[in-house]
Structure 1
Amino acid sequence: MSSLGMVLDIATSALAAQQHAIDVTAHNIANVDTEGYSRQIPSLQAKQAVLHQGMILGRGVEIEQVARSIDQFIENKLMQEKSNLSSFQEMEKYMQVLEAMFSESSDASMSATLSDFWNLWHDISNNPSGSSERIALYEHSLLMSEQFQSLIPDLNQIQTDITNAITVGIERINQITSEISQINVEIVGMEANNNVANDLRDKRNALVSELNEYLDIKTFEQSSHSLTIVAAKGCTLVHNDRNYELEIYGDRVKWQDSGGNYVDITNHISNGKIGGWLELRDEIIAKYELDLDAMAKEFIWSVNQQHSQGVGLKLFESGSTITGDYQTNTDLGELEYGSEIQFIANGFNLWIEDRTDPANPTIDYVSVDLSSLNSSSSLSDLATAINNQITGVGLTGITVDGSGSALSLIAGNNYAFGFSDDNSNILAALGVNTFFTGTGAGSIGLNAMLNDKDYIAAAQIDSDGSYAAGDNTNALAMTDLQYTSMDISQWTCDRINGNTEGSVTTTIEDYYHSMVGSIGIISSSISRDTKFNEMMVKELNTLRDSISAVSLDEEMANLIKYQHAYQAAAKLITISDEMLETLISTR
């Protein structure tokens, strides 16, 4: 090749290289606002030299490659922080709802409702026979029961909303993994001949970033340039041209392997929206639902246990039937509060008033001995034991029926009955002469017998069988419960290790205040974590943009540089042409 021909070749290569560089610059400028686009950089290199007339001469320039301007470490760190941020943002949103449910700022808060309940018992202690005080307590207790009952469905609704969000999230995850598997095929095909599919890699990277916002993943690029994605418990979501879907079964997230087998990965998903939703639903909200139920259960028991010791303005009248609110079809130990029963000799006093002679009624009692029974005894066994003891002391007119699933006491004509000194807790465990029904926040209600407000037990029967409308003994004992410490279950919920029941000794109100305070602390902690991760994502985005984002100023400078180089190459061709004409003319 003549040296003049070599000059033309060099100039032509320069024109092509600079034109290609200008094309890349134009592509960058066009995608300045494209989400996930990484700036592309044309890499120029000298073409392989040749030996010409004993000298090694260069042959011009060529495009070695067009590379994406990225730092994979920064990309991975940004994805990780985005995953954390997505988790905290979702948790923060639902924690705000949870805080509002348990807000203490209103006069209608549960804390205020509990305080008013004790205050109304105090009002009754000041005027035990007062009709207005009894009505006020009854109506307030109804509202309080409804307030308790509403909290459980509200918590359940949050959990349902979260489950629905998880379902939608899983659908999007499956869409993303399907798209990534398709892009894998395209990238492998395009890069088979040492090409680099920059735009497809950006698209795949954007999808991986979005996927990482839903759950924590790990990625591995194969030698074929296909991307493998692995999620919780080592479950592969994408491998080569195939994606493996996640599915929702009830409230569980399951992964299907290539053999069609399902693996439950619910408890192993961390971070991302799915991880945040699961932590909220199965740990945080589950804990407070259990704690609220435990508090309500102990509240119901303590009030019922005290109420069962007392008597209202009258005994249970002739012809009335009192049926326990708690049922069992097997044995006494199966009652919800069966573990509280003490099978002792001096169980409780059953008072029976004989009104056969209305002018001269008589009252007597039997101290019911429960020592012959145990937790395996049935209601029928209990009824038989009580009936035998009533007969044994010559008391008649009262029948105890244990043939069904709840104990019933029936007053015959001209007879009435009441209770006192229950050392065994059997009455409260059976739901006899109690204030509340139910065993938790979702089931609490008022005993139907209290429709007659006279049965609100503010008094207690004395040792001689007397009771007075002005007696406030039981009402005072009830108000003391406000300041009485008791053992209340407290739960720890963990998706990996399961739920653990602990116990704290405190008052009902202090337990509730502690629970509300705990919600506030967790919410504040999540908000702080959200702000911190927002800052981290912002800083990492700034760092990424400094590496990968398109700068119009820089691209314009490059455009001018490549334009000048192109013009110089064109000038070189012009000069070569003139030299060629001169050479021809000399011949």
Structure 2
Amino acid sequence: MGLAAALNTGKTSLFASQKSIEVAGNNIANVNTEGYSRQNVVLGDIPSLEFGGFFVGTGVRVNNIEREYDVFINQQLLDKSQELGTEDAKSTPLAELERVFSVGDENLATEIDRFFDAWQELSTNPSGEVERDIVIQRGELLASSFNSLARDLDNVRSNINDTVASEIDDVNLKLNQIAELNTQIQNIEANGKSANSFRDQRDLLLQELTYTLGVQSYEEPNGAINIQLPGGLPLVQNGTALQLEATPRGEDLTLTLNIGESSFEVKGDNLGGKFNGLFELRDEFIPELKQNLDLTAYEMVQTVNSLHAQGVGLDGSTGVAFFNNPGNHTTQSYVDPDQATAFSAGDLSIEVDGVANTVAFAGGSLNDLADTINTAALGVTATVNEQDDGTFVMVLRPDNAGDSVQLDTSAVGGSYEAPEFSMPNISDLIAVSIRDTSKVAAGNSSAPGDNTNALAISALKDEDTINGEDTFVSFYGKMAASVGIEAGQNRLAQSGAEDSLTQLKNLRDGSVGVSIEEEMISLIKFQRGFEASAKLLSTVDELMVTVINIKN
């Protein structure tokens, strides 16, 4: 002990103050580094030694350098990042859908009004060539509006697929980086040290992945973090990262996760964050809009064609469809086509190319219903087809291509809902099928002044044609309203998530972030400690010189 012990004490104090200054300087240098957590030097005294009957301390040592970390705030950040990712992803497609389903002066509803108004004008002059030509032109513009809306919906879906495909590589890169950081953290902390910078990097990557995929994570005792999708499929296990793959399937895109030699399809309900928002729009919201658009086009084609086929043109033609009738008439999906109690007994109202018939149905399964329609031999063929998801639909196909088909099955509802028909993708394909103005059936005869059919078709404008409760215009209004409501809710949720995330980041910065003022105070404190340690060493050195001189 003695002066040598004092010299060692001064040396350890000098080293501890130096290390503390380095850490404070590093904190100040990273004050603007995203995701950086304030680091602190953990000091501990060196065990005391007995000297002259007393235990005297022998200095200080740096036990560790730890980072500030708040588990609760960090978890809240991850939760809000996932929520914001979902809403951010929806904002751009919904803004595009708002443009598509415009509520301004020029939209599908406007063209529907103008089309029926053209028939009303024709009724005032049934023989007029100009009025007949306007009816055809308005029909073409209406069909073009349907086609344009359908293309726009397809484009939004395509853009969503492109967005997902463009981000897969970045997601896989982040998964690989987290796996590598897991390995580095394990190696460092196995030796009793803290991998502070690596943990900060990993937390930032995890927050970005949560924003994109809504991943869930949990930490192992060895310091590694394991990551999985909300549905439970693993993404990162210790130092191993699995890879997501975007696989084209027709016009769509699916996500698959490769685990060994097995591949698992990742659907929207197994995702969170940005991808969940994109897939929710692509697989649920947009298909519903497309289905409603197809229903509107289908009812337009069937009702107009049914009345037009009953009328007579100036050239004596009859049975002519105004719109073409592409594709097949398809019901909703059913689970079991052979369930005997599916439908109750009742009359089927079937109209083919303007000719109405009533067919008695004794009740039974979906297959029984198809057999009854085929036995009646009314100009349509019914088949029951199995779909990819294992459900079944009934498809009506006119024996003569282009014939309009109207079928009312509301009287046969049993344990299954009565069939309701539509034409998939008819909004893409609808077009006017006549070009000769003399074939426009304004009346029920070829008499020049007969306007009965034009009046009947123009009256469709105000009839509750769709689902028995909506006109064509009001149903479009519901579609546009659903888009507007969804977009409004998205903007509100997005703003709320952004505000919450900002508050949480501020809370994190206040709790574990770097404060310049605090670091400056610490720097002054460590500077004074360093100066005092240096003074101690200088004093001990002088004392040792004095002792040596006395001895000499």
Query: What TM-score bracket applies, with the shorter chain setting the length?
Result: 0.7 to 0.9
RMSD: 3.1
Match of 2:524 among 549, 557, 560: 560
**1:325 Cα deviation after fit:** 5.5
**1:438 Cα deviation after fit:** 9.8
**1:196 Cα deviation after fit:** 0.6
Change (3 A) 1:348 1:26: closer
Matched, 1:520 2:522: no
User: Residue type matched to 1:474 in 2?
Assistant: N
Matched, 1:18 2:13: no
Please give the per-residue CA displacement for 1:455-485, whole angstroms capped at 9, x wherever unaligned: 1111114xxxxx4211111111112111111
SS in 2 for 1:234: coil
Corresponding residue of 1:267: 268
SS in 2 for 1:486: coil
| In structure 2, C-alpha distance between the alignment counterparts of 1:292 and 1:369, rounded to whole Å | 29
Corresponding residue of 1:454: 438
User: Residue type matched to 2:297 in 1?
Assistant: A
Corresponding residue of 2:164: 166
Corresponding residue of 1:535: 499
Change (3 A) 1:302 1:567: same
User: Residue type matched to 2:464 in 1?
Assistant: S
Corresponding residue of 2:538: 574
Matched, 1:109 2:107: yes
| In structure 1, C-alpha distance between the alignment counterparts of 2:521 and 2:212, rounded to whole Å | 40
SS in 1 for 2:74: helix
**1:53 Cα deviation after fit:** 2.2
Corresponding residue of 2:257: 255
| In structure 2, C-alpha distance between the alignment counterparts of 1:171 and 1:438, rounded to whole Å | 34
**1:149 Cα deviation after fit:** 0.8
- Give the alignment of 1:467-506 within 5 angstroms: 467-488=446-467, 505-506=469-470
**1:315 Cα deviation after fit:** 1.0
SS in 1 for 2:245: strand
Corresponding residue of 1:399: none
**1:382 Cα deviation after fit:** 5.2
Change (3 A) 1:310 1:439: farther
User: Residue type matched to 2:21 in 1?
Assistant: I
Corresponding residue of 1:62: 61
Percent identity, please.
Answer: 29
- Give the alignment of 1:108-147 within 5 angstroms: 108-147=106-145
**1:568 Cα deviation after fit:** 0.4
Change (3 A) 1:232 1:271: closer
| In structure 2, C-alpha distance between the alignment counterparts of 1:114 and 1:161, rounded to whole Å | 29
SS in 2 for 1:375: helix
Matched, 1:301 2:319: no
Change (3 A) 1:210 1:382: closer
Corresponding residue of 1:407: 400
Please give the per-residue CA displacement for 1:183-228, whole angstroms capped at 9, x wherever unaligned: 1111111111110111111111111111111111121221221111
Corresponding residue of 2:153: 155
**1:341 Cα deviation after fit:** 7.5
- Give the alignment of 1:213-228 within 5 angstroms: 213-228=211-226
Change (3 A) 1:537 1:114: same
The answer to whether the 8 A contact 2:301-2:324 is kept is no
Corresponding residue of 1:35: 34
SS in 2 for 1:220: strand
Corresponding residue of 1:188: 186
**1:43 Cα deviation after fit:** 1.9
Change (3 A) 1:343 1:156: closer
Change (3 A) 1:343 1:585: closer
User: Residue type matched to 2:448 in 1?
Assistant: A
SS in 2 for 1:254: strand
Corresponding residue of 1:442: 428
Please give the per-residue CA displacement for 1:398-444, whole angstroms capped at 9, x wherever unaligned: xxxxxx98539xxxxxxxxxxxxxxxxx96329xxxxxx99721111
| In structure 1, C-alpha distance between the alignment counterparts of 2:34 and 2:536, rounded to whole Å | 41
Corresponding residue of 1:176: 174
Gaps of 5+ in 1: 329-333, 350-367, 384-403, 409-425, 431-436, 462-466, 489-503
Number of residue pairs matched? 491
Please give the per-residue CA displacement for 1:288-334, whole angstroms capped at 9, x wherever unaligned: 111111111112111112222211223129xx999995589xxxxx7
Corresponding residue of 1:400: none
| In structure 1, C-alpha distance between the alignment counterparts of 2:435 and 2:424, rounded to whole Å | 17
Please give the per-residue CA displacement for 1:65-121, whole angstroms capped at 9, x wherever unaligned: 211122121112112212211221120111001100111213x21111111111111
**1:336 Cα deviation after fit:** 5.8
**1:268 Cα deviation after fit:** 2.4
TM-score by length of 2: 0.82
SS in 2 for 1:252: strand
Corresponding residue of 2:82: 83
Instruction: Choose 1 or 2 for highest CA Rg.
Output: 1
User: Residue type matched to 2:37 in 1?
Assistant: S
| In structure 2, C-alpha distance between the alignment counterparts of 1:438 and 1:583, rounded to whole Å | 104
| In structure 2, C-alpha distance between the alignment counterparts of 1:507 and 1:102, rounded to whole Å | 17
User: Residue type matched to 2:62 in 1?
Assistant: I
User: Residue type matched to 1:442 in 2?
Assistant: D
User: Residue type matched to 1:513 in 2?
Assistant: G
- Give the alignment of 1:316-327 within 5 angstroms: 316=317, 326=325
**1:4 Cα deviation after fit:** 2.1
Corresponding residue of 2:415: none
| In structure 1, C-alpha distance between the alignment counterparts of 2:512 and 2:161, rounded to whole Å | 37
| In structure 1, C-alpha distance between the alignment counterparts of 2:524 and 2:358, rounded to whole Å | 105
Change (3 A) 1:214 1:578: same
| In structure 1, C-alpha distance between the alignment counterparts of 2:549 and 2:321, rounded to whole Å | 131
User: Residue type matched to 1:253 in 2?
Assistant: L
User: Residue type matched to 2:404 in 1?
Assistant: A
| In structure 2, C-alpha distance between the alignment counterparts of 1:264 and 1:439, rounded to whole Å | 26
Corresponding residue of 1:278: 279
| In structure 1, C-alpha distance between the alignment counterparts of 2:276 and 2:543, rounded to whole Å | 73
Change (3 A) 1:285 1:584: same
Match of 1:233 among 231, 234, 241: 231
SS in 1 for 2:50: strand
| In structure 1, C-alpha distance between the alignment counterparts of 2:101 and 2:273, rounded to whole Å | 27
User: Residue type matched to 1:307 in 2?
Assistant: H
| In structure 2, C-alpha distance between the alignment counterparts of 1:577 and 1:13, rounded to whole Å | 15
**1:553 Cα deviation after fit:** 2.4
The answer to whether the 8 A contact 1:311-1:455 is kept is yes
| In structure 2, C-alpha distance between the alignment counterparts of 1:457 and 1:370, rounded to whole Å | 29
